[in-house]
Structures are given as C-alpha cells and as structure tokens.
Structure 1
Amino acid sequence: MRESIVSLTEFKSSASQQIRTLKDHAEPLVLTQNGRATAVVEDYAQYQRQQKSLALLRLMVQGENDIQHGRLTPQSKVFDHLKKRLNAEKEND
C-alpha cells in the first residue's frame, strides 16, 4: 500500500482536494508537522476494512490461544446446546 506525505499546513489549505484524492486512490495520507509524521488520514471505507481485518486477526489469535490451553468444546456438544436453545425459543413463540 502506498502512502502520500503532506505537511499539515498543505493539508489545511487544500483539505477538500486531499479528501477527494483519498477516495479516488484509496491510499492513506501521512500528515507531517515540523517535518515529522504526526497523523494519518484515510478513506473511511478503507478504515472499516482495516478494522474488520484486525478484529478477525484478534479472534484467530484468541482461538489459537484457546487451543493451546485446552479450552475446547466438542462440536457435538455445541450443536446439542444450540438445538436446545432453538427448541426453547420455538416453545416460547
């Protein structure tokens, strides 16, 4: 993924154009202040995709950790539990 680097002053003077460019090119914009990177601006759709990917990775790590520590439930037990819950909900309707 490429990124563009722009000073905060330049971003302030052309924010609308910079935002349009973000949407068109889907690459983050690194803002600098006094020559140092201080913030990143990115398209909201890209941000959402990134957040979903991070959440999925966290779940995978948690799953691996559960496996390593023996925190497992047999598939048959899970399905039996789900069937009981579904049947209970049907009875309540």
Structure 2
Amino acid sequence: MKYSTRIKPISYLKANAAEVVRGLAESGEPMIITQNGEATAVIQDIASYEETQETLALLKILALGEQQVREGKTVPAAKAMRRFRDRIKRTRAGE
C-alpha cells in the first residue's frame, strides 16, 4: 500500500470529515494527517482498527510463548493434556 496517496493536511480533514470517514470505511486503508507539514496522526475505520488490535494481541501471545520456550518454561504436550483433563474432572466434580 502506498501511503503517499493517503496523506492529507488537517485542513482537508476539517473540511471533508464526512467524506473522509466514508472513504476510510470503503477502502480499509488508513489516512495520514499532517499539521504544519509534519505527519501528526493516522486515522482509520473501526473495523481495520479492531483487526489491527486483534493481530497485535496474537503477536504478543506468540512473543510470550517464544520467551517462555527460551526460559525453559515448557512441559511436554502429554503432561499438559493430563493437567487439562484433571482440571476438567475437578471442575465437573465440584458442580
């Protein structure tokens, strides 16, 4: 994606807010807003924002998993499944 075509001054946003919001939803691409010639903000539609946040959450989970592997904080899959099944049995017994 070329961001150079998605750069607008804040005055454009002020004058065309409704059109900009419609365009964000249709394209799914963010827009960079400048103020005094400097990039100062990025705006995007809510669906794209939510997708980005979900992606970041998954990446954080992956990074945490990699860190735990490096630190030796892992157990064999069979042992993990045993723990999981035992926990389910205890939960059901407490119902």
TM, length-normalised to structure 1: 0.90
Structure 2, unpaired ranges of 5+: none
Which position in structure 2 is the counterpart of 1:64? 66
Distance 1:67 1:90 in 2: 31
What is the number of residues matched between the two proteins?
93
Tell me the CA shift for residue 56 of structure 1.
1.3
Distance 2:32 2:56 in 1: 20
Distance 2:60 2:86 in 1: 30
Which position in structure 1 is the counterpart of 2:41? 39
Distance 2:81 2:49 in 1: 35
Structure 1, unpaired ranges of 5+: none
Which 4+ stretches in 1 moved above 3 angstroms?
A: none
TM, length-normalised to structure 2: 0.89
Bigger Cα displacement from structure 2, 35-44 vs 73-82: 73-82
Helix, strand or coil at the partner of 1:6: strand
Identity of aligned residues (%): 32
Bigger Cα displacement from structure 2, 22-31 vs 64-73: 64-73
Distance 2:72 2:94 in 1: 35
2:35 aligned with 1:26:
no
Which position in structure 1 is the counterpart of 2:2? 2
Partner AA of 1:27 in structure 2: E
Conservation of the 8 A alpha-carbon contact between 1:28 and 1:43: yes
Which position in structure 2 is the counterpart of 1:77? 79
